[in-house]
Amino acid sequence: MVINDAKVLISAYRFIEKNCNLINEFVYKHAINFGPSPEYCSTYDVTNNIINLIERKNRLINLKLMIDELVSGLNKTDKLIILSKMRFDLSMKSFCQMFQIPSMRTAFRRLQTALEHFTIHANNSPYKEKLEYLLDNEHWIVAMRREQVEKNVCG
């Protein structure tokens, strides 16, 4: 995992619960709306779609738990910085005010250091392969990852 992937995981964190709730709604609507319809849809197909959605939700819940555990293994300062970024997506100005950092440059360096520590911790964890799988296979996380790469290339 690289720093950009760490940024993506931290940015994705606050959307995991929302996506799980959307999956719940979709499963419910999919199950309720199944019945006689103009288009043929077998019970087997509907059941498989529901099972796939539930498995996807379980992977997202596990991702959230993995990120929580990785963050909890960081030192106190890094943990606070990463948590503030995960939950609130603070601007650099707000970040400076919250942590009483006098300069934006120092704040940026401090955030980069916390991200590097998170990345090192993730790379040395037993979750590394699972994290990489989720980074490659969850479509909205893949989109965030692509956006992060484009941001770094263009910005």
Q: What is the pLDDT of residues 22-53, one digit of tens each?
A: 999 999 887 777 655 556 667 788 889 899 99
Could you tell me the residue ranges of all domains in the chain?
Answer: 3-154
Which residues are CB-neighbours of 79 under 8 A, at least 6 positions away? 71, 72
The Cα 67–Cα 9 span in angstroms is 8
Percent of the chain with pLDDT over 70: 93
- 52-68: pLDDT as tens digits: 999 999 999 999 999 99
Q: What value does the mean pLDDT take over residues 66-71?
A: 93
The Cα 34–Cα 41 span in angstroms is 8
Query: Which position has the token pair 């770094």?
Result: 152
Q: Is the pTM of this model over 0.85?
A: no
The Cα 89–Cα 87 span in angstroms is 6
Do 134 and 118 touch, CB atoms closer than 8 A?
A: no
